[in-house]
A and B are shown apart, each in its own frame.
Chain A
Amino acid sequence: MAAVELKEKQEAKARQSRRIAAKGNHAAALAARDVDVDVAAIYPITPQVQIAEKIAELVANGELDAEVIHVESEHSAMSAVIAAAATGARVFTATSSQGLELMHEMLYIASGLRQPVVMALATRALSAPINIWNDYSDAMSMRDTGWIIIFSENVQEVYDNLIQAYYIAEHPDVLLPTVVTLDGYILSHTVEPLELIPRDEVLSYAVKRPRGYRPVLDPDKPMTFGPVGAPNWYYEIKIQQIMAMREAPRVIEEAAREFEKRFGRRYGFIEEYMMDDAEVAIVSLGATASLVKAAVNRLREEGVKAGMVKIRVYRPFPAEQIAKALENVAAVGVLDRAVAFGGPLEGPLFLDIASTLAVRGMVKPMASFIHGLGGRDIFVKEVVEMFKKLQELARSGRSETRTLFYGVKSRTKLN
């Protein structure tokens, strides 16, 4: 008994010593260090730029043995890491906003060629007008590119998600590029406690070049990679990509289970907060979820049965889990920080949730909320208002057929 206690104490102490204070950007770079990436392509863009700088610093002081390619653009960054991955290297890059858009062409090529590229995306609004602050417009533009997309809520998740990203992306049953988001400024520049994992433990978890994985560009086994896929083959190749995306949840779950077993932190596809008896719920992503939790807390004090669902794995979309989590609520709201211009409703996440429920015959009042574009502050009281709106909808039994925009200055208010 005493021995066990002592061991536990020692373990707790060791973990304590691995706790540092770090910004989200540094957490991302430290994850790249701890998985021992071989090639990193770096190109600066706010708010991700500190990731590029930290990678350069880690390499400069010998903490990371990687080839850094100082590319001349994000398009080349993505091109170079896809090619490096095909050569058998473990790769990393990071970007935001316009940088992601410049990569866009290559995003499809990374997934179409099934290369396990891992990227950190410090989320930021898209131009025009130019705006360096947080929203999810950039991340949402990746929705249909065939990447696995994982959102992070805090600095620890940035680190943990990236380590899991390598486990997932390089798994022979998946081989899909994976992006991990960190909210621009809200996480990228915010210092929070971060518990690091010793590198040998990281590497025994996210094993480099796992069994069954081999480089494509090998002079001993020459292969033509990225050929022309005429109509007689293209479709079949795309079907395989779709199958890989469908296969991914099994591996994502395995990655999380294994991660919890070794490092004690648990991750799901979604996170439910106060959902057991919730009557109204809001679904959201990333760091915004923390705010929704705060609103839930306030409402619970008032006796309102509010709940929250945070989506961690956004692609592949965890439709079953979400449907189950929302099964018993009377009304569902979706808080988006991006716009699907001209869509049936303008919240991109809303469209996912609405179709998830609709095809399962789950007809219930819904509302699409948009707030926080271009770094506009969202306040707990505004989220509380959204919940109140949902209560109204629950009573009337009707959905909002138009998106509700919160936080806009009164003169430009829609609705």
Chain B
Amino acid sequence: MALSKPVRTVWDIPREEQFAPGHSMCQGCGAALVMRHLMKVAGKDAIVAMATGCVEVTTTLFPRTSWKNPWIHLAFENAGAVASGIEAALKALQRKGVVDSNRRIKVIAIAGDGGTFDIGLQSLSGMLERGHDVMYVVYDNEAYMNTGIQRSGATPLGAWTTTTPIGKRMRGEMRPKKDIIGIALAHRIPYIATANPAYPTDMIEKFRRALETRGPSLVHVFSPCTPGWRIKNEHTIEVSRLAVQTGMWVQLEIVNGKPRVTVKVPKRKHVRHYLKIQGRFRHLTEEEIEQIQRMVDQHVEEINRWVGEQAIGPVVE
């Protein structure tokens, strides 16, 4: 594995690129940042299994590719199963002496929120439950972007998508986001984390630890989508940082069931700052914004109780 030392500063980030430029991801795509850094950490001895989605179609238009690693895509709902098959094959081939048994080749499954929270949940669960030595990365842009911004189980309350439009009777997504971390926790896997490209060293360090983990790990990465969220290309990192500063997104690391907040927020900003910068929340009334604020307050309280400290502070304007 490429990285064995912890990543403390940007100077510890490997210079080698395993994810090539020239793909057709949008300017400002959060997922592009995620993939680039993930692959830097993974290095050469990693095999990637990817689900159908935005990243897949924008990086592998035959005969071009952005992937310098062995990379496979079969379908939308089976990244977990595909990774399971690769891992099982490596195990058998190493045992039988076909592949060098001293070499640690890590399998990485990558899927969007749709391919994870919804259609891929079953195969993810199977993979986690069987204990395959696979790192699962979900880049969460909070909708199905590849098919043109439809809601997923990860779409947050109040967000506009093409299937949760704003009309007389419906005002965007009516249900809160599904708790994927809770689902992963229920599988009692050794490593779970949330990450965010606005905090690159934190994100990279989590990738590194997930890769080092023996057994299944899951890293849930915040991944802004410029057209889907109706944000300016240059606002990706701004939005990502605001998500953490408002408590909409909490930077967690859960090792063997023990949780920790890796990016503490002593003074929290009001969710208004996060929502107002995005077109997908433009329709929200003051009242609706307050409703989201109350939901976040409650979530923050739960997190603090869970980690046993006031990792996320109160809203201070």
CA distance A77 to B130 in the complex (A): 13
CB pair A81–B61 under 8 Å, yes or no, is no
Nearest Cβ distance between residue A141 and chain B, in whole angstroms? Answer: 18
CB pair A84–B85 under 8 Å, yes or no, is yes
CA distance A65 to B92 in the complex (A): 8
CB pair B85–A228 under 8 Å, yes or no, is no
Nearest Cβ distance between residue B7 and chain A, in whole angstroms? Answer: 22
Give the number of chain B interface residues (Cβ < 8 Å). Answer: 47
CB pair B126–A76 under 8 Å, yes or no, is yes
Selected interface stretch from B41-49, B148-156, B297-305: B41-49
Q: Contact string, B287-308, partner A, CB cutoff 8 A, digits 1/0?
A: 0000000000000000000000
Q: Known A65-B96, A222-B69; judge A80-B81 contact (CB<8 A).
A: yes
Residues of chain A within 8 A of B69, CB atoms compared? 219, 222
Q: Contact string, A71-106, partner B, CB cutoff 8 A, digits 1/0?
A: 111011101111111111101000000000000011
Q: A51 in the interface, Cβ–Cβ < 8 Å? A: no
Q: A229 in the interface, Cβ–Cβ < 8 Å? A: yes
CB pair B84–A225 under 8 Å, yes or no, is no
CB pair B122–A233 under 8 Å, yes or no, is no
CB pair B57–A228 under 8 Å, yes or no, is yes
Residues of chain B within 8 A of A228, CB atoms compared? 56-57, 60-62
With A87-B47, A88-B99, A226-B73 known, 11 other A-B pairs at CB within 8 A are: A67-B92, A70-B130, A72-B122, A76-B80, A84-B86, A88-B98, A105-B75, A217-B72, A222-B70, A224-B71, A228-B61
- Cross-chain pairs A/B with CB under 8 angstroms, 30 sampled: A39-B89, A65-B95, A67-B92, A71-B81, A73-B122, A76-B122, A77-B81, A79-B74, A82-B85, A83-B49, A83-B84, A83-B86, A83-B89, A84-B86, A87-B47, A88-B98, A89-B92, A89-B93, A91-B89, A109-B74, A109-B75, A113-B74, A209-B98, A217-B86, A219-B44, A219-B70, A225-B70, A225-B71, A226-B72, A227-B60
A residues adjacent to B (C-beta < 8 A) = 38-39, 41, 65-67, 69-73, 75-77, 79-89, 91, 105-106, 109, 113, 209, 216-219, 221-230, 233
10 nearest A-B pairs in the assembled complex, by CB-CB distance: A80-B85, A83-B85, A72-B126, A227-B60, A76-B81, A87-B89, A89-B89, A84-B89, A224-B65, A79-B81
B residues adjacent to A (C-beta < 8 A) = 44-47, 49, 56-57, 60-63, 65, 67-75, 77-78, 80-86, 88-93, 95-96, 98-99, 105, 122-123, 125-126, 129-130
